Structure 1
């Protein structure tokens, strides 16, 4: 392989911080991953991460959030970057049985093989990775 070529493909999409943009993010993901056995899981992950950005950060309303989707032969990586404003990093919570919110990132961490959060109060990126050929929680090698 030539040193400047890669088999990985990367897409990006910036969406306004309105609730209806979550369905746009799902469609975008589904269209890119059409035919992939990981498409359904990826669509659900993007839906949860996009909704979290809108509901819990400055991305909602007048803000925006950015999606990145990277596909290689071994990994599908989905990232959602918010506009921050919360002061705390996204984390898996243990909500009470009657809580309305708080389960999304936990669900993502069960579906994805790996979830990484990085950033600061000015914006966080949550990246969920799905490894091809393995079950959730498994390892690619």
Structure 2
């Protein structure tokens, strides 16, 4: 099954996106991982793309027996996206969110086209 929900590009929407994913993955043993990953991906979209400046983000959840795929689509152009380049130092204020995503997800991917970019994860 697949569901999607679009949110205004405001930080106050992160808890709503998290609650949406929690409801869609149900009683999965990976439920907390799914919520945390969603929060990180939505927050990154809002911080680093035009979605956070009056735009919107869409969260897509696909659930099948034994697996879930969570994707966050934003209005970024994808050209500036880079995989985690380095481990942030103690003095860095940001940069740990994607490390958390990579640590928790079984698979991580990024797609970009003229309509924006999508960061997605798979959990088994």
Q: If the length of structure 1 is used for normalisation, what is the TM-score? A: 0.81
Aligned residues: 123
Question: Residue 117 of structure 2 aligns to a residue in which SS?
Answer: strand
Q: Which has the higher helix share?
A: 2
Q: For residue 99 of structure 1, what is the aligned residue in structure 2? A: 92
Structure 2 matches for 1:52-71, cutoff 5 A?
52-71=44-63
Structure 2 matches for 1:130-141, cutoff 5 A?
130-131=123-124
Question: Residue 59 of structure 1 aligns to a residue in which SS?
Answer: helix
Give structure 1 stretches of 5+ with no counterpart.
1-8, 132-141
Q: What root-mean-square deviation, in Å, do the aligned CA atoms of Structure 1 and Structure 2 show?
A: 1.6
From the CA coordinates, give the structure whose radius of gyration is larger.
1
Give structure 2 stretches of 5+ with no counterpart.
none
d(CA) in 1 for partners of 2:14, 2:85: 22
Are 1:117 and 2:117 matched, yes or no? no
Would you say the 8 A contact 1:79–1:126 is kept in 2?
yes
| More relative contact order, 1 or 2 (CA 8 Å, 6+ apart) | 2
